[in-house]
A = this chain, B = another copy of it.
C-alpha cells in the first residue's frame, strides 16, 4: 500500500468512527477497517455504550481471512484488561494480522504507546500518526477528557449575515433553513449532552431532542447553565467549569443563548464553533455572543481556524477549531 492508500483507508475508518460519536462515552468512538490485497474484509466502529470495540467488530466480519491482513484503527488498540471484553491488542495478534496502521496513539496512560510496542514485539509491522489530527478531531470528546480532564465543547450559532440570532423582539424562527436545522439535529445526536442557558430555556422551552427519522433514540442529556429550579429531565450547572464533574459526558453541544455562549468563550472552554449562516440581514437584532471580557482586538486574533465549510440548502455552515498548544 502507498501512503496515499493508507490515508484513503484511514479516512474511511475515521468516517466509520463518527457513527459512534456521542454514543460511547466514556469510551472513545473508534473506527476500524481490515484490508488485504486491496479488498476491505471488515469494518467496525465502537458500539453504543462502548462495547464491542471497533476492532472486535471488524475482525469478526473478516473472520477466517485475517491472516496477513492490515488493520487500520483510528486509535491505538486497547492494552489494558477490562471485565467488559477482550483486549484489542490480543484480538489483532490472534487474528494473525501482518500490519497495524494507527492514526492516534491512545492518551490513556494504561495503553499510551504500549500496544504499538507490544505488537511490534510480536513481529507485526506498526505504523502510527496516519491522519492523527483528523482522528483526534473525530474523537474530540475522548481526547478532551483524557488531556484536559473536561468534556469537549462545541458552540452552535445560527446567524444572519449581520451576526444576529434573533430579531430585536426575540423572534428567531426561522433564520436558517431546513437543511441547516437537519444538520444541527445530527450534531445533537453526535454529542453526549446539549446545553442551554436558563434564559433560552424560559424563552423557547427547547426540547433539544433529535428530530430525525431513526435517530429519535439518540437524544443526548440535557444541561442548563444557571441558578434556581431545575426542570424535570434537566441537569443544572452553575458555571462552565462544572462540566468537569459530569458523569458519562465527554462532549457537549452549547446551543444558546448569547450569555451562555459568552460564559463558555470567556472561560476559554469552547473547542469548536459551528456557524450556520443564512443569507439574510436582520438589522438591530439580538447578538450571538455577549461580552466575553476581550481586553483588546489583538487578543482575539489567532485563536480560531476554519476547518470546514459547506453549503446547506441556501445557508452556509462553517466549522472553526480553537487552536491550542499541545
A318 to B294, CA, bound (A): 26
A284 to B290, CA, bound (A): 4
Chain B residues whose C-beta falls within 8 Å of the C-beta of A281 in the assembled complex:
265, 273, 289, 292, 294, 300, 303-304
A163 to B166, CA, bound (A): 13
A282 to B292, CA, bound (A): 7
Residue on B nearest A273 in the bound complex, by CB: B161
Q: Which of A254-300 contact B (CB under 8 A)?
A: 262, 265-266, 273, 275, 278-284, 287-294, 296-297, 300
Residue on B nearest A283 in the bound complex, by CB: B292
Interface of A is mostly: loop
A27 to B171, CA, bound (A): 45
Number of copies: 2
A266 to B283, CA, bound (A): 9
Place the interface of chain A in its size category.
35 or more
Residue on B nearest A177 in the bound complex, by CB: B301
Q: Does A168 sit within 8 A of B, measured CB to CB?
A: yes
Q: Does A73 sit within 8 A of B, measured CB to CB?
A: no
Q: Does A174 sit within 8 A of B, measured CB to CB?
A: yes
A162 pairs with B160, CB closer than 8 A: no
Q: Does A164 sit within 8 A of B, measured CB to CB?
A: yes
A287 to B172, CA, bound (A): 17
Q: Does A81 sit within 8 A of B, measured CB to CB?
A: no
A296 to B285, CA, bound (A): 11
> Contact check: which of B266, B291, B300 meets A280 at CB < 8 Å?
B300
Chain B residues whose C-beta falls within 8 Å of the C-beta of A316 in the assembled complex:
306
Given contacts A163-B163, A262-B283, A280-B300, 20 further A-B contacts (CB under 8 A): A159-B162, A160-B163, A161-B275, A161-B318, A162-B163, A162-B289, A163-B164, A163-B287, A163-B288, A168-B291, A175-B297, A262-B284, A273-B281, A281-B303, A282-B289, A282-B292, A283-B289, A283-B290, A283-B292, A284-B290
Residue contacts A-B, CB under 8 angstroms, 26 given: A159-B163, A161-B320, A162-B288, A162-B289, A163-B287, A164-B287, A167-B296, A167-B297, A171-B296, A171-B297, A262-B283, A265-B281, A265-B283, A266-B283, A279-B306, A280-B303, A281-B294, A281-B300, A282-B292, A282-B294, A282-B297, A282-B300, A283-B291, A283-B292, A284-B287, A284-B289
